[in-house]
Chain A
Amino acid sequence: MSTESGRKGFKLSLDTWAVILALALALAVRANVFNNVPW
């Protein structure tokens, strides 16, 4: 489910992609790429 090694390399699960996207967004906020995201 998480990673499947195959001939084409690693295939990440949707869960893992969600974590990667969330951490990338957090990094962007930390680097001030996004300032004061509104709600």
Chain B
Amino acid sequence: MATSTAASPVESGTAPVNVLRLVPGILLLAVVGYAGKFLEKFLNTYAKTHHWTFPNIEYVLWAIVIGLILSNLLTVPKIFQPGIATYEFWLKVGIVLLGSRFVLADMLKLGGISLALVVVEISLSLLLMHALGRAFKLTPKLTSLLAVGSSICGVSAIIAAKGAIDADDEDSTFAIAAILALGALALFTFPLIGHSLHLSDTVFGLWSGLGVDNTAEATATGALYSDAAGKVAVLAKTARNAMIGFVVLAYAIYWAKRGQASTVGNKAAFLWNKFPKFVLGFLIMSLLVSFHTFNKDQVTSLANLSRWAFLLTFAGVGLRTNFRQMSKQGLRPFVVGALGEVLIAALTFGLVVGANRIWGL
């Protein structure tokens, strides 16, 4: 299942040994990702030379599909697992570097709209998930975890909330499995819906960033639609990630008041600890580009470095998704999650279409 639930391989143990343990898995991520990129180019060239009508299937989808085949039809040896778990690290490196593709004016306009939509989305999603949790008689803490996961940012938010509200391991495993399974479904359904409705890159990117839970899946969903949509999806998702500390703090205080979690001492320190630092990195990079720290070629190089980092991430999304293990987690949390996700997808779609009418995105 989600390797992201395990302690980070970079954070524990002796450093040189740990780094060596990561090498096989990182190489596998690179091979799978590059195979996806190669397949996209090869099939397009082959179709062109043979005058075939063949849809342009992006490397993103190929990398995910190859990863899914390896992890679901074959067994990936344990030696690769620590390195595969670094896919979230590469995602964050890619997001910070992607900041170079946003000058401050873009960031303020789209980021401001995203932030306004995020506040509405989080409030409505939390209410919705709690109503569904009550209707399906899930335990209150599992409901809290599902609500945090589906309203903010998937796995990271669930892990942050788990510690803050003293939730059971079983509850967090359920919630993570549901969020990941639904993220995998969104990868394939969102682009289909987007294409059938002829959504613009900006509208689709905003919808992916607001509607898909886990950051890796939201980034991949946007990139599957188009490069420009992927860029907007990352911005919207980053705005959503920035809210993690506030929501987790609210839950921590709520459960502490009921005597079912440790009390929060220094709230500012709590917020800083839970705040995703890559959001700051993303802003710093955008500021550097806005003040012309890099020339045009250097900005292109930074954007390409970001694409290479995302390539490893997309391979990791496929490799760590194991449907057999997910199916063992039980049906009820999945049904609640699925219902919630469908409603949140419809809600965020309405929000984005409304914003498009008002601000002309």
- Which chain A residues have a beta carbon within 8 Å of chain B's beta carbons? 1-2, 11, 13-19, 21-23, 25-26, 29-30, 34-39
Contact = CB atoms under 8 A, between A and B. Distances in A.
A13 B288 contact: no
Interface in B301-325: 301-302, 304-305, 307-308
A25 to B, nearest CB: 6
A19 B280 contact: yes
How would you classify the secondary structure of chain A's contact residues: helix, strand, loop or mixed?
Answer: helix
Contacts of B92: 14-15, 18-19, 22
A35 B295 CA distance: 11
Given A14-B10, A23-B281, 14 more contacts: A1-B160, A2-B272, A2-B275, A17-B89, A18-B96, A19-B92, A22-B93, A22-B281, A25-B93, A25-B97, A29-B298, A36-B297, A37-B302, A37-B304
Given A25-B97, A26-B97, A36-B300, A18 B272 contact: no
Contact of A15 (B276, B288, B307, B308): B276
Contact of B301 (A1, A22, A29): A29
A22 B277 CA distance: 12
A14 B93 contact: no
A35 B274 CA distance: 36
Contacts of A17: 10, 89
